Structure 1
Amino acid sequence: MADSPREGKVARPPDFTQLIDLASEFVGGKILFATDDFFAPAENLLKRDNPSFKEHEYTEFGKWMDGWQTRRKRIPGHDWCVVQLGIQGVIRGFDVDTSYFTGDHAPRVSIQAANFEEDKQPEIPQREVRTGAAATPEEFEAISELKSDDWSCLVPMTELTPGNPASSHNYFPVTSQQRWSHIRLNIFPDGGIARLRVYGTGQKDWTAGDPKEPLDLVTVAYGGACVGFSNAHFGHPNNLIGVGTAKSMADGWETARRLDRPPILENDENGILLVPGCEWAVFRLAHPGVITQIEIDTKYFKGNSPESCKVDGCILTTQEEEDMVRQKWDLPGHKWKPLLPVTKLKPDEMHVLDSLTPELQDVITHAKFTITPDGGVSRLRLKGLPSSICLLRPREKPMMRFSVKAGFRANL
């Protein structure tokens, strides 16, 4: 656990908080079970938004709180809940946020984890959110099928700080390299927690599935990640590779308006806007592969979509990526392979485009998405074949030999 900050001084969040929240309701995370939801339901733990406080609002059960809060326990035991992650993957750290729980926060916490293959998960009845209620004997019996008492312990029993502004975040780094699908959050003995963030990277079993079916090699669900960008004034580029379709304009990548745009705009002979600048984001693929189709969705961006875009790819080792991050991605132009030429974009529309990759040996590990001059995009999908699969497919021409340089890791 990170050191608790001194009162009045907000600590800098650890680096793992830049990763995706695998448990967020936004990516499909859900509560399977909670021992008690008397004051506030456990579903609040997985909300994407930061917790809020309504000073004078009460329910029939007591003070309204934006989190999970159990009753004051008067029977043996302690409270706990089970979370099914929306994205299965490697966990890098937790944030147990006690915001606004100052006299009724959970005093201690521990966290366990398990991994179940999708076709081997016990059937758990869908939970009903019932503020003011405790789990029924039938719910206890159903959740016992998961044998969560025996799950691996990622965070041992640790004291929590109350939810004051300077100390509400309780960070727990995780060193396990295993893939996890479920979390058990234990509080001792009872109390309230505002949010549970489970930061990490998605992980996929690349040997499963149809080898001829193209996959989205950049999605966060499989381990793709943004590793650099020029501007993220209104939305982070990681949103581009999020799960499912965008929910609103806030669920995309949007830059500020560039100040170097000419006072009067003009087009070239091909109808492309003549502007000096652009914005870009670089993504590490979840797995090296060949991109065959590109989807660019400008949904919700009606008056602020980019004029045009292009996509390039390259091969980098882990060390080369780290060097590029330090150099703010000043990568020589000849290192990039064109995947999509400069292409006009329309507002509020899905664009499905074929990649320019001419030969199967054009495997990439990273992709650069460039928009001109600025604006917003909701989703980017880079569909293709993982290298280990595509290089085994028959070809009419002799195959050029390809191997990823030593040091590359699909998931950092």
Structure 2
Amino acid sequence: MNTPSRPTGHTHFLSLPDLAARSAGGAVLWANDDVFAEKENLVKPGPAEHRPATFGHKGQVYDGWETRRRRGVTEDSHDAAIIRLGVPAIVRGVVVDTAWFTGNYPPEISVEAAHVAGHPSVEELVDKTEWTTIVGRTGVNGDTRNPFETDSDRRWTHVRLSIYPDGGVARFRVHGEGLINPDFAENMTLDLAALENGGRITACSNMFYSSPNNLLLPGVARTMGEGWETSRRRDAGNDWVEMRLAGQGVLNAIELDTSYFVGNSPGAARVSGRDGDGAWFEILPLTELQPDTRHRFRVYDDRPVTAARLDVYPDGGMARVRLFGALTPAGLRDVCDRWEAST
């Protein structure tokens, strides 16, 4: 048995995006067993739901992954699932959420990770991949969000969740920092704020209804719940969010998307940028916004930026923020350095 890892008391990694979530491009590629509840439920973005005494032809219907009861159990008997992350990433922590599993949760888990280039087949991942333990075999509680901090600075593309010996897990969250492959960064126009390109939220005034990480997810929002929404302000201030870009770059276009925010979109917004620790400067002046609309603006300022700030007036919700541009030579070097340092 591996040296146990303990649930962390320092859950700051929870502010980082869940890069295993389906909404971030993650997917469950394989599980050795999911006879009671489908493995794909592990990466659904929302919390697990439960309706008591709801039975299908295989038993109680669970919003999670549940395997059959093992017989002839030995110490090493276990079930496992392999998840592909939405983007290569440095994993800072994981959450094994056993919500609603009370008499059928696994008493122990472990988590391993691997970096596999390209688009490996399931067979390659199961039979030919070398896995590294990032959370040693350790106990978990039922009907609980069990968080575990990790300490590896290597980049990973896939993770493997093992449960001992069997049972159910509602959700599996993998929080970390995305990295862009330099091969897809040179001489290209990118969304420099996107999670899949290494962008990250660094500060936010208010996240009462939903996380600002949603602003940087790939694709379009499908509901209001897939964006960022603040509580209603009752003072003279305004809400804001700050983000670190993939690297130093020069912006050429901005998209502020209020899709699905009909009666609660901001009345106006402003976008600022800065380079390193320099002063903030205005990129998009205070501009009125419309509800349920994708707003696009050209940028003609050639000053490089490494961070951006979105101010919304006075409050409200935004579905997505896109900051299109190209990396500077210095920005590309930084991307290459981070990529090489994570091998």
Instruction: Give the alignment's TM-score, normalised by structure 2.
Output: 0.87
- CA shift for structure 1 position 13: 6.6
- Structure 2 equivalent of residue 364 of structure 1: 305
> Aligned partners of 2:7, 2:125: CA distance in 1, in Å?
35
* Higher share in strand: 2
SS of the aligned residue for 1:21 comes to coil
Aligned to 1:156: 136
Rounded Cα–Cα distance in structure 2 between residues aligned with 1:391 and 1:234: 36
Partner of 2:318: 377
Shift of 1:301: 1.7
Q: Conserved in 1, the CA contact under 8 Å of 2:23 and 2:217?
A: no
C-alpha RMSD of matched pairs (Å): 2.6
Q: Secondary structure at the match of 1:154?
A: strand
In 2, Cα distance between equivalents of 1:70 and 1:351: 46
**Distance apart, 1:381 and its partner CA:** 0.6
Matched, 1:289 2:289: no
Match of 2:109 in 1: 109
1:220 corresponds to which of 172, 189, 195: 195
- Residue in 2 aligned with 1:178? 154
Aligned to 2:163: 187
CA contact (8 A) 2:43 2:172 kept: yes
1:64 aligned residue (61, 72, 76) = 61
Q: Distance in 2 between matches of 1:93 and 1:23?
A: 12
Closer, same or farther: CA 33–143 of 1 in aligned 2, 3 Å? farther
The answer on whether the counterparts of 2:247 and 2:331 sit within 8 Å (CA) in structure 1 is no
In 1, Cα distance between equivalents of 2:121 and 2:166:
27
Q: 1:210 to 1:54 in 2, by over 3 A?
A: closer
* 1:74 paired residue number: 71
Distance verdict in 2 for CA 1:176–1:368, change over 3 Å: same
- Residues 192, 233 of structure 1: CA spacing in aligned structure 2 closer, same or farther, 3 A cutoff? closer
Return the offset for 1:115: 1.2
| TM-aligned CA deviation for residue 39 of structure 1 | 1.3
Q: Indicate conservation of the 8 Å contact 1:2/1:170, yes or no.
A: no
User: Aligned pair 1:98/2:39, yes or no?
Assistant: no
Match of 1:346 in 2: 290
For residues 122-271 of structure 1, what are the structure 2 equivalents within 5 Å? 122-124=120-122, 142=123, 147-148=128-129, 150-163=130-143, 168-205=144-181, 207-209=182-184, 211-260=186-235
Gaps of 5+ in 2: 335-340
1:385 counterpart letter in structure 2: A
Q: CA deviation at 1:123?
A: 3.2
Deviation at 1:220, TM superposition (A): 1.5
For 2:331 and 2:196, the matched residues in 1 are separated by 21
Aligned to 1:316: 276
Supply the AA of the counterpart residue of 2:173.
R
| Aligned-residue offset at 1:54 | 2.3
What are structure 1's unaligned runs of at least 5 residues? Answer: 5-11, 125-141, 261-275, 318-333, 393-402, 404-409
| Other structure's SS at 1:227 match | strand
Q: Percent identity?
A: 38
Give, in angstroms, the shift of residue 307 of structure 1: 2.1
**TM-score, length-scaled by structure 1:** 0.73
Aligned partners of 1:13 and 1:102: how far apart in 2? Answer: 25
1:157–1:390 CA distance, 2 compared to 1 (3 A): closer
2-side partners of 1:3 and 1:244: how far apart? 33
Give the Cα separation in 2 of the matches to 1:171 and 1:391: 34
Alignment partner of 2:24 out of 17, 27, 44: 27
Where 2:221 maps in the other structure, the secondary structure is coil
**1:266-323 superposed Cα distances (whole Å, 9 cap, x missing partner):** xxxxxxxxxx543211111121211121111111122322222111111335xxxxxx
Residue type matched to 1:369 in 2?
A: L
Distance in 2 of aligned mates of 1:315 and 1:144: 41
Structure 1 CA distance, aligned partners of 2:186 and 2:198? Answer: 18
Aligned to 2:46, the other structure's residue is in SS state coil
